Every structure is written in structure tokens, then in C-alpha cells.
Amino acid sequence: MAEPKENLQMEKIVSLCKRRGFIFQSSEIYGGINGFWDYGPLGAELKRNVKELWWHAMTRQRDDVAGLEATIIMSPKIWEASGHVDTFSDPMVDCKGCKKRFRADQIEPQTGIVYHFSGAYDGSKFNPLLNQYPPEFRDAVKSQVLEFADDYKKQTDPSEEIVNALKARALKFKAEFKQDNCPPLTELHKEYSEAIQNKCDNANSVLLLPGKPAESARKTAMQFYQQRGINTPNLLDERTEKLEAPTTCFCNECQSELTEPKPFTLMFKTYVGPVNVSALDYKPDIDPKKLEEWFKAFNEGEKNIAYLRPETAQAIFAQFKNVLETSRQKVPFGIAQVGKAFRNEVTPRNFTFRSREFEQMELEFFIKPDEVVEAICGNVATLSDSQPSTLNPQSNWGWQAWHQYWVEERERFYEGIGLSRETLGVHHQTANELAHYARACTDILFKFPFSKKDEHGNVAGDELEGIAARSDFDLSQHQRFSGKPMGVFDDELRAAWGKLPKEKQDDLRKRYYNHRKNYLTKSAKTSEEVDAALKQADEDANGLAKGQYIPHVIEPSAGVDRLILALIANAYSEVTSTDDKGKSETIYMMKFHPRVAPIKAGVFPLLKNKPELVKKAQEVRDLLRPWMNVYYDEGGSIGKRYARQDEAGTPFCVTIDFDTLGEKPELLDTVTIRYRDDGRQERLKTSELLAFLLSKIR
Ligand code: ATP
């Protein structure tokens, strides 16, 4: 299950990304900044294409989705309502040995023998004395000194009699060992007593993995004490414990003990408006007289706190009513947004996969609660009912069918930009993984080069996108925190409700009431709050008869950067060819789907020193340019120009040669089009070129 230390494929991809201008480290000239990445010329085009395609598929090609572009910094109340202020954190553990920090849920279970130590004392003076004894006597000498010291320690004020007795014992011991040249035991005892008084009392445990020598556990423990100022650690009270079951309490890298998990907030804080900078910068040596002033300024600053949004979705909920009123949409409908999100990830890793600044493409698709669907349609489609028609939304779809629909839509989207089903995976979140308000969440995964293998060698993949059925939690929270109604009025529901038999009304009302009650009472702490919550649930349930309800939501939430990385990893291919002389050469090719390819066509005159060829080629370039990104290149041999475009992932190259100019009259105004993936070439009329390319890239 462990991640290979060096992932060759990833190394090649990272290096190609830099070499060809897809992705650079942010602030590289200053040594970079962890978790931040810049997109170079080809990367910027690739990213733009992906976002455009998503936007097209999710909004322009649908009647039921409207777009939004909200600010990155919003009222901090939004993040209180969404729960991010209280709960958006990762449980982190620190390794007590190597000091590295890990996400608690990413620690791999390990087994073995645990070595416990109660502390260590500095043996830098004691050990050289002990080492003057022949090796075979050292253990005995040491235990004698320790015992001697223990006896001595027991006496808070040892009488002369005891001191003499101990001295006699030491002499006897020395006589027994007949080691006249060795330092006297009293000297060892003196050094030991001094060292033990300044010992480090921190207990430490280290896991010894199967097959490793015990010494390696002791060495790791010694490093722990060295970091705590004990130069030559002599470990104390060693005790071992064989583990019955695998544990996640030890570092996967050095096997030292891990700390208890602590939550680390993932939100970036900032301040809006003028802030007294000195208030943010507390210094421990602050003049006590100025402390009150500092607190005042600090509190002023805290009032102006704002957050960089950790997701784009919340703006959609906050603007739900405005969009509804201005777009003439009716539930079911969606609001889509693409934009930056920021998370102060504790361990950014796997290139751009886990970054601190990234982009999301999120849709909130608002649907009727199942009780409302049932009131209007008489039934709610079950998953098996809806399956044959998942392409065509039906009015009797409840949350399950809509959820399934969006999972399939999104899978189709990925396939449509070149990620085949074999490269993708899905993960249906288990009850334990789901947020308390969510009914289901399906993650679409991509098999990245760094994705882990399970015990059967299968790769599940890592998350590209999550599609969550989030009930009416988000709108309800914003209604509660803002005091503004987030419900909708639905004519169809009001008309249908009046025609329902009483028992049906009661049944639907009860189910809706229970759902609202569960949500509303969750945050109620006092008995008054519980009463108010029950009253509100009752009112909400009565709303059904008036055609009122709070919409539920299905949220397909995708990351742009992860998708770019997936497209790059998927496109990367190497071809090694050997010439007649046995010399082999490896060339790289990015096999992007034409829809996402940063450059759609390379346009080349066969020779750059023939003005008539150059002129014609530039005409072709100008013909295509308004419609797509083309790259005009007249430098080097045609083969070199093809190779450059192959590395950039350009799917088509168009060459203008003498036949284009009519050298062979039947080929006048035709061009050669060369396909990247198989090197095939064919002739096409210049007048048909644009339509041909558009059919491939759209
Ligand atoms: P993970 O479990 O991997 O941290 P998540 O479940 O927290 O992801 P969501 O909050 O559902 O992610 O965000 C939606 C999408 O945003 C993710 O599927 C992913 O594509 C993208 N995303 C989330 N965090 C990051 C990040 N740190 N860097 C890049 N993309 C991210």
C-alpha cells in the first residue's frame, strides 16, 4: 500500500511540464513556495480549454443551468453558516522523532514490537569511564552503579554508616573484578548521579518493524532524546510490547511515536480594511504596560477577519435567491461557477494534485424534495426505474435519480475529453465517510501515476470530482444564519397538494416534518431552542400545502488542476525508435484529445525561404486563427517542426507545399494534414480545412 518513494513516471511528467511550459513552480526564482503552481504558455491554454468545455457543457448547452461569478472574499458569516469556521480542518499528527507532519487518516497501519523508554540521561561523561572496563564486564559494572545509585537515592540524607557500607560494596565489587586500572566505581557513580539529575523525563516509544534489529529501535529513540538536548542518550527503563493488531500510532517513515491528532484549520485568514499591523504581530517580550493597547488593537483586527474562500460553492447558495429571481429558472435548475479556491493544506503533495491555491468547477443543482415530487407526480422514480432514461431527466425524479444522472453526466464529460473509462474509477462514500447531512457522495477517480495499489495490485485512483447529494442543508443553514428565507414557491405543488387525499397529505407532511425536525433540532441546545425548532419544523411542513419548500441540492464539484494533471498524465507517451545504425532515440508525445489540446493545429510553410509558400501559409494561419489556437512555425526541418508540436500535444499539423500553389494542378489549394497520433498524412482542400478542424475540436 505504501507510495513508492520515487515515482519515475511522475518525475518525467513534472520535468516535461517545466520543459515545455505547462506548469512551473510558483516564485521559482526565490526558491518556490510550497503548494502553489503557475501555468506556463501551454498550461494556460490547456486550462482555459478545460474550463470553457466545462462551462459549455454545464451551462450553455443546457436550459436548466445558469452561471455565476462571485468574489473570492465574502462575508465571514458565510463560512460560519457553512460550518467551515468550526469544522473545516484536517486532523494532523506530528512525528515526535523526525518532526514531519501527516494527515492522521493517511497513516498506514503497521505492526511489530513496541520499544518503550521512560527517558534518557546524558552519558557523555559516564560512557567513556564505563568503556574503560573490558566489554564483558560493562553490563555488570553498569548495573552495579545503577543499583548503587538506587540504594543511595533511597536515602534522602544518607548517614555515614550507609555511605561507608556503599563504599565497602564498591571496593568488594572492584576486588571481585580485579580491574585495578579501571576508574573507581565511585567516579562512575558520581557522573551517573549528576547525569541522572538532568535526565530527560519524556517517555518515548518506537515501533520495531518485523525483521529489523532491536538496535534500530534504540537508535531512533536516541535521536528523539538528542533533539531534546541529551547529547549522548543512555536510554532508561527499556520495555517491549508485542503488538496484537496493526497500529497507526507510529510514523510510517521513522517508526517514532506520533502525537495525538489535532485539528488544523484549512482556511486562509486575511483582514479587510485598514488593520493595525503591530496588533497582528505579538511579541512575547511586549512591554506589559502596552499589553492592554495590544489587546485592543488585536480585537479590532479580529473584527475585520475574512477568509479566502475554500470552495466556490457557498457563493452559489448565498446568491441562490438572486439567481432564481433574475434567471427565470424554476426548480429543478442549477447554478454553475468556476473559480479560485484556497486551502492551507498541511501537506501539499503529488505536484498540483493537492495545492494550496487551485480552481474548482462547481455546480449546485437544486431539486425538489422527494415529498414534493411525490405530491406532484404521485410517485418518485426509484433508481432502477430511472436507469433506462438517465439521459433524459423526468419530472418524477427524486434525489437518487438526479444523483445518478449527474454521476453519469460527469463521467461522460471526462470521456468526451479523452479520459477513457479504464483510466477512471468511482468510489461510493460509505456511511462513515459521508457528512452528516449528505445522503450520498460518489467520487470520480483518476488513476494517477502516484495512485496506490490495493493488496490485489489494483489501482482505484484518486479523486477528481465528488458528486454529493447534500439534502437541503446548505440553503437551510444560510436561512438560519442570515435570517433571509431561502425557500421557493412552487405553483405546481400548491395545485397538486389540494387534489391529494387527506391520508396522502398527512403521510407526506409527516415525512417532511421529520426531515425538517432532524435538521432543526440538531443545533438546538436548550429546551427553549428545541421548542422553537419543533415549531419551525411544523411551520415548514405546513408550507407544503402553500407550495413552499427549501430545495435540496446535488453538487458535482470538480477540481480544474487535478483534471489538468490527469489530462497531462493520460496524454504523456514515449516512443523509442532505433535507426539502421542501432542508435535508439526516445521521443515524447502528448496525446491530448483535440478538444483540450493547447494548440489545435501547427501551420507550416514547407520552406521558409520561398515567399509564396510563406504567404500562403500565413493566409491559412489567419483563416484558422479566429476559431482556434494555431501555431505558425517556419523554423527547422518539417520533421523537427512535427516533433515540437507532438511534444506540445498538437493533434494536427497543416503543411503548405508547392502542390498547394498548383505545382500539380489537380492539387491546387490543397494542404497536407498530418495526424499526431499515427503520423498519417492526407490532402485536404484549403476551403474544407476549417470545417474539418472544427468538427474535431468541438
Ligand atoms: P480531498 O479529500 O482530496 O482533500 P475533498 O473531498 O476535500 O478532496 P472537495 O472539498 O469535495 O474535495 O472539493 C472538490 C474538488 O476540488 C475535489 O474533488 C478536487 O478536485 C478539488 N480539490 C480539493 N482540494 C484540492 C486541493 N488542495 N488541490 C487541488 N484540488 C483540490
3-state secondary structure string across 158-201: CCHHHHHHHHHHHHHHHHHHCCCCCCCHHHHHHHHHHHHHCCEC
341: nearest Cα among 8, 71, 60, 647: 71
Closest ligand 1 atom to 465 CA? 18
The label of the residue with cell 490532402 reads 683
- Name the closest-CA residue to atom 25, ligand 1: 354
- Name the closest-CA residue to atom 24, ligand 1: 354
- pLDDT class for 638, splitting at 50, 70, 90? very high
- What pLDDT shows up at residue 197? 85
pLDDT, tens digit (0-9, with 9 covering 90-100), for 281-292: 666 666 777 777
Share of residues in the chain with pLDDT > 70 (%): 92
- Name the closest-CA residue to atom 27, ligand 1: 354
Q: Is the pLDDT of residue 590 over 50?
A: yes
Read off the C-alpha cell for 381. Answer: 422514480
Q: Is the pLDDT of residue 500 over 70?
A: yes
- pLDDT class for 440, splitting at 50, 70, 90? very high
Q: Is the pLDDT of residue 386 over 60?
A: no
Is residue 355 in contact with ligand 1, taking CB distance under 6 Å?
yes
Centre of ligand 1 from the C-alpha of residue 10, in Å: 20
86: nearest Cα among 262, 313, 265: 265
Is residue 557 in contact with ligand 1, taking CB distance under 6 Å?
yes
Q: Is the pLDDT of residue 1 over 60?
A: no
Give me the torsion for CA of 383, 388, 392, 395, rounded to 10°.
Answer: -50
H/E stretch holding 18 reads: helix 8-19
- Pick from 103, 358, 414, 424 the residue to mutate for probing ligand 1's pocket: most ligand atoms within 8 Å of its CB: 358
Spell 658-695 as b/e; 16+ CB within 10 A means b: ebbbeeeeebeebbbbbebeeeeeeebebeebeeebee
pLDDT, tens digit (0-9, with 9 covering 90-100), for 644-678: 999 999 999 999 999 999 999 999 999 999 999 99
Q: Is the pLDDT of residue 594 over 80?
A: yes
Q: Is the pLDDT of residue 153 over 90?
A: no
- pLDDT class for 688, splitting at 50, 70, 90? very high
Contact in structure between 109 and 248 (CB atoms under 8 Å):
yes
| C-alpha span between 82 and 85 (Å, rounded) | 8
- What pLDDT shows up at residue 277? 63
Share of residues in the chain with pLDDT > 90 (%): 74
- pLDDT class for 693, splitting at 50, 70, 90? very high
DSSP 422: G
- What pLDDT shows up at residue 150? 67
What pairing do the DSSP bridges indicate for beta strands 119-122 and 101-103? Answer: unpaired
- Pick from 79, 102, 463 the residue to mutate for probing ligand 1's pocket: most ligand atoms within 8 Å of its CB: 463
Contacts of 274 (CB under 8 A, 6+ apart): none
In this prediction, residues 576-600 reach a mean pLDDT of 91
- Name the closest-CA residue to atom 20, ligand 1: 559
Is residue 312 in contact with ligand 1, taking CB distance under 6 Å?
no
Lowest mean pLDDT among 42-46, 157-161, 220-224, 225-229: 157-161
Is residue 358 in contact with ligand 1, taking CB distance under 6 Å?
yes
Give me the torsion for CA of 219, 225, 228, 232, rounded to 10°.
Answer: -80
Is residue 562 in contact with ligand 1, taking CB distance under 6 Å?
yes
- What pLDDT shows up at residue 180? 65
Is residue 559 in contact with ligand 1, taking CB distance under 6 Å?
yes
- What pLDDT shows up at residue 191? 85
Q: Is the pLDDT of residue 162 over 70?
A: no
In this prediction, residues 158-166 reach a mean pLDDT of 69
Q: Is the pLDDT of residue 327 over 60?
A: yes
Q: Is the pLDDT of residue 200 over 50?
A: yes
Q: Is the pLDDT of residue 398 over 80?
A: yes
- What pLDDT shows up at residue 517? 96
Q: Give the CA angle between residues 673, 679, 680 to the nearest 5°.
A: 55
- Name the closest-CA residue to atom 23, ligand 1: 559
In this prediction, residues 379-403 reach a mean pLDDT of 82
Is residue 463 in contact with ligand 1, taking CB distance under 6 Å?
yes
Closest ligand 1 atom to 362 CA? 14
- What pLDDT shows up at residue 190? 83
In this prediction, residues 83-90 reach a mean pLDDT of 87
Q: Which residue has the higher pLDDT, 242 or 134?
A: 242
| C-alpha span between 537 and 414 (Å, rounded) | 41
Q: Is the pLDDT of residue 415 over 90?
A: yes
- What pLDDT shows up at residue 105? 87
- What pLDDT shows up at residue 168? 74
Most confident region among 61-70, 170-179, 187-196 by mean pLDDT: 61-70
- Name the closest-CA residue to atom 26, ligand 1: 354
- What pLDDT shows up at residue 140? 78
Q: Is the pLDDT of residue 171 over 90?
A: no
Centre of ligand 1 from the C-alpha of residue 559, in Å: 6
Most confident region among 304-308, 346-350, 545-549 by mean pLDDT: 545-549
454: nearest Cα among 441, 467, 445: 445
- pTM to 2 decimals? 0.80
- Name the closest-CA residue to atom 16, ligand 1: 559
In this prediction, residues 434-443 reach a mean pLDDT of 94
Q: Is the pLDDT of residue 2 over 60?
A: no
Is residue 409 in contact with ligand 1, taking CB distance under 6 Å?
no
Read off the C-alpha cell for 211. Answer: 525483521
In this prediction, residues 341-359 reach a mean pLDDT of 94
Closest ligand 1 atom to 348 CA? 27
